[in-house]
Each structure stands twice: as C-alpha cells, then as structure tokens.
Amino acid sequence: MAGNVFAEGVSAGRLDSEELLRNFGDLHPPLDDHEALVAADRCYFCHDAPCMEACPTSIDIPLFIRQIATGTPDAAAKTIFNQNILGGMCARVCPTEQLCEEVCVREVAEHKPVEIGRLQRYATDGLMAKGQHPFTRGEPTGKRIAVVGAGPAGLSCAHRLAMKGHDVVLYDARPKAGGLNEYGIAAYKTVEGFAQAEVDWLLKIGGITVENEKALGRDITLDGLKSDYDAVFLGLGLGGVNALGLDGEDREGMAPATDFIAELRQAPDLGALPVGRDVVVIGGGMTAIDAAVQSKLLGALNVTLVYRRGRDRMNASVFEQDLAASKGVRIITNASPVAVHGNGAVREVEFEYTDNDLKPTGQRFRVPADQVFKAIGQTLTGEGLPEIQDRKIKVSETGRTSLDGVWAGGDCASGGDDLTVTAVAEGRDAAEDIHAALMG
C-alpha cells in the first residue's frame, strides 16, 4: 500500500474529519433496553427452532431471546458465550440474513425476521461492559498446548482449552491478536476498538499466554512445537493472495484488498490514508465489498466492483451487495480482467464480458483506475504442514490432521466456509477433541 501514496490521483484528506467520522460510524447502532424488549417480544420461541439449526455454533437462540424478554440479559449473554465465546464480534459481522434470520419463522411469514444479530449484540455487549467473564478456569491439568494463529479459530480453541485447565501459548505473526477480526473486517462493522477489547476480555479466563510477531516457519516450527507441547492447534488463516495472472499486475496502484483493509483498520487518522479518484475492486466476496465501500467512504469519486460471475453467484450476501450500491459503488458482473494499462502506474483495467460458463464473449471495455484492489481469494502458505486437500489442511470433523497431535481449524482447514462464526465453532470443537485425547 505504501507505494500507492505516490501514484497520480491517489491522495489523502479527500474528506474532512467530521464526514469521515460519520461515514465510519457504527453500521448497525446497538439496541437500547426498550428496543431490545420490543425486538425480543417478536420471537415465537420455536421448539424446533430453525434459527438454532442454521447457526454454525448452535447457539440456543430461543433461550437467549427469552432471557432478554424476561429481563435477564446477562443470562442471555452466558447462553451465547457458552457456544460462541466471540459472540460479540459475530453479532456484528455474521451474515445473519443468510443464516439464522433467513430461516426465522417471522422471515418466512412476514419477510421481517426477529433481529437475532442485534439482540445477540445487546446481550453480549452488556455483560462485557461490566468487565465480567462468565467462565472460570478449570483445575490445572499439567498439559500444555500451542495454538498458532490468534484469529477467531485460535482464540476460540485457546479459550476452551483454558476452561478445561490446560496451559495455552497462543502464537501470532502480527503485532496484535485478533486475526481477521482485527485486520480483515470493515472498520464500520466493528468500531471503537472492539476487536482488541474482545481479545482482552477473552483472556481474562487465565492460562493463556500470547506471543505476538511469532510466525510459523520464521520464528517457530511445527516440529519444534510438537516436541515442546502436548498438542498443537493450527489456526493460521490464509496468508497468501491469489494473483490475476496479467501483465502489468505489478504496476503502481495495484494492491491486495486485504492489505488496504488492514491498513485502514490500523490507521490512527483516516484522513491521512490515501485513496484514489477512480478505484476498481476485482472480486465478489465480502473482502471485495468491504474494500469497495470503504474506498467510497474515504472519498473516492468513482468506485467500480467487477466480478466474473453473475450477482447470484457472488459470495457477498445480497445485503452486502445492496449496501455497496447504496454507498455509490457501481457493480459490474460477468466480466473478467484481461489487461492492466498504464505507464508505470495503473491508468485503466481492461475487462471482457463472459457468459454464465465463464467463456469470453469477445466484448471488451475499459474502466479508468488509479487504484486497483484485488480480492479474488487467498491461499494457504507455509512449509511442512499436515496433508493438504483442496489447497487447505485436510481435517476430520473434529479438526484432526494427518499428523499425530496436530489439529487445525478456521480458514486454513478444509471443509469450512470462511466465516468468522464457522472458525469459532471449529476452534471450539477441536479444543474439546484435544481435551478428550489428552485426558484419555
């Protein structure tokens, strides 16, 4: 990203501080007490709750909403945290419109589901604001486990292991813990430093030591961890970025969308962050949407998101697509990049329309660009890892890998759907299996 500062048309300070503050305010403001009671009163408390089945962490949604409705929100928070210790973040970033709320009986009958996500945030934020931790550490077992990667999967695994009485050392390559929650999510979805506040709150369980700026392969090795610890959990995430495979891909102004989002999340002053006049984002997932929307919120004049398939095939939810459109992002579908034009720095990206089978149609067009973000997926990086399947670590249902004593979960593991809530579930379930294996 640093090179983009010098690309023509890319500059900082396009908007004043007040407008930036408004643009990057909370996407979904929290419910107050009255609003929460009204929202909870809409729940039918279904016996065979489809919302619970749709939740990757299997939170007892009818129970926690009933607890809110009966004036015991702290009990509701514990119900949530019992299944999802990162319930506060998931309440903010989960695509609830595709999960629990999509199957809500109210949604089916009225097209207006119970606001499960906002109710979850109401309960979890309330308990966390009191500084309370709902769980206590178990009796020490004398077992030590290494967890590599302090993202949602690693944090979830480490917390559950600590609850069982194990000692955990949590390694992460970045300066801060949190992984995707800290570095990879749009700033307007998690405001006021919530990601770090959640990590600090989670660590109150005790028994977890965090070692930052320790990367697997550079500072620690899997063989070394296996010999030093009773078990190892890998929650590495996906560190590599897929390439477009085009000439000119290294021109000034081209960057991975993940780098842009991470830099924005860590920027002390959004007004100092450079953004182009004409921004192009290539991709159709949540990362692409986050990069496109935030470019617009920073003051880019024209933001175009281009995806190779139709809108119905985009990984980003319809809500996210509509959000982007409402912010002024132009979405072009069924088009693939074929060339990057410019003299040193990018000036245009050339695309070709494709049919539903991704076959080129021969129709081409160019989009002006002084800043281009690539969001076409990430890849697993690292050497000496367990067996790989479909470019991810092959795991069993409980996260066991091909190496004895090594488990994995989250985006780096096979079988997941690259959601924060799924990573939390996989870390939690792997911890339960590690505990069972170590304790016989």
Residue 136 lies in a domain: no
Torsion angle of alpha carbons 52, 50, 290, 415, nearest 10°?
70
pLDDT, tens digit, 9 for 90 and up, residues 370-419: 999 999 999 998 888 999 998 999 999 999 999 999 999 999 999 777 89
Based on the domain organization, do 370 and 271 belong to the same domain?
yes
Based on the domain organization, do 235 and 384 belong to the same domain?
yes
Picking from 238, 170, 237, the residue whose alpha carbon sits closest to that of residue 202 is 170
Domain finish residue from 95, 129, 163? 129
* Domain assignment of residue 122, given as a range: 33-129
Phi-psi region of 245 (alpha: psi -120 to 50; beta: other; left: phi over 0): left
Q: What's the confidence (pLDDT) of residue 1?
A: 47
CATH of the domain at 123: 1.10.1060.10
Give the rounded percent of residues in the chain with a pLDDT score beyond 70.
98
Domain total for the chain?
3
Q: How confident is the model at residue 13 (pLDDT cuts 50, 70, 90)?
A: confident
pLDDT, tens digit, 9 for 90 and up, residues 161-176: 999 999 999 999 999 9
Q: What residue has token string 């009485």? A: 165
Torsion angle of alpha carbons 352, 353, 357, 361, nearest 10°?
-80
Residue 102 lies in a domain: yes
Based on the domain organization, do 109 and 198 belong to the same domain?
no
* Per-residue pLDDT at 7 exceeds 70: no
Based on the domain organization, do 361 and 386 belong to the same domain?
no
Residue 7 lies in a domain: no
Residue 24 lies in a domain: no
What is the gyration radius of the CA atoms in the chain, in angstroms?
22
CATH of the domain at 404: 3.50.50.60
Over range 35-46, report the average pLDDT.
97
Neighbours of 323 (CB within 10 A): 19
Residue 352 lies in a domain: yes
Residue 433 lies in a domain: yes
Over range 100-116, report the average pLDDT.
94
Based on the domain organization, do 373 and 386 belong to the same domain?
no
Based on the domain organization, do 248 and 365 belong to the same domain?
yes
SS (H, E, C) the chain: CHHHHHCCCCECCCCCHHHHHHHCCCCCCCCCHHHHHHHHCCCCCCCCCHHHHHCCCCCCHHHHHHHHHCCCHHHHHHHHHHHCCCHHHHHHHCCCCCCCCCCCHHHHHHCCCCCHHHHHHHHHHHHHHCCCCCCCCCCCCCCEEEEECCCHHHHHHHHHHHHCCCEEEEEECCCCCCCHHHHCCCHHHCCCCHHHHHHHHHHHHCCEEEEECCCECCCECHHHHHHHCCEEEECCCCCEECCCCCCCCCCECEEEHHHHHHHHHHCCCHHHCCECCEEEEECCCHHHHHHHHHHHHHCCCEEEEECCCCHHHCCCCHHHHHHHHHCCCEEECCEEEEEEEEECEEEEEEEEEECCCCCEEEEEEEEECCEEEECCCEECCCCCCCCEECCEECCCCCCECCCCCEEECHHHECCCCCCHHHHHHHHHHHHHHHHHHHHC
Cα(26)–Cα(92) distance, integer angstroms: 10
Cα(350)–Cα(256) distance, integer angstroms: 18
Question: C-alpha angle with apex 413: 412 to 415, nearest 5 degrees?
Answer: 130
Residue 12 lies in a domain: no
Based on the domain organization, do 340 and 419 belong to the same domain?
no
Based on the domain organization, do 370 and 289 belong to the same domain?
yes
Based on the domain organization, do 365 and 339 belong to the same domain?
yes
Q: How confident is the model at residue 132 (pLDDT cuts 50, 70, 90)?
A: confident
Residue 430 · residue 158 · CB < 8 Å: no
Residue 427 · residue 154 · CB < 8 Å: yes
pTM: 0.94
* Cα of 311 vs its chain's centroid, Å: 21
- The answer to whether the Cα torsion of 75, 80, 81, 86 is positive or negative is negative
Domain finish residue from 353, 377, 401? 377
Q: How confident is the model at residue 3 (pLDDT cuts 50, 70, 90)?
A: very low
Q: What residue has token string 């119970």? A: 114
Based on the domain organization, do 252 and 353 belong to the same domain?
yes
Residue 14 lies in a domain: no
Residue 209 · residue 169 · CB < 8 Å: yes
Picking from 287, 414, 99, 80, the residue whose alpha carbon sits closest to that of residue 107 is 99
Q: What residue has token string 């505990």? A: 435
pLDDT, tens digit, 9 for 90 and up, residues 315-334: 999 999 999 999 999 999 99
Residue 140 · residue 165 · CB < 8 Å: yes
* Per-residue pLDDT at 313 exceeds 60: yes
Based on the domain organization, do 120 and 170 belong to the same domain?
no
Domain finish residue from 102, 129, 156? 129
* Cα of 332 vs its chain's centroid, Å: 24
pLDDT, tens digit, 9 for 90 and up, residues 219-248: 999 999 999 999 999 999 998 889 999 988
Q: What's the confidence (pLDDT) of residue 146?
A: 98
Return all residues near 38 (Cβ < 8 A) that are at least 6 apart: none
Q: What's the confidence (pLDDT) of residue 5?
A: 37
Based on the domain organization, do 308 and 354 belong to the same domain?
yes
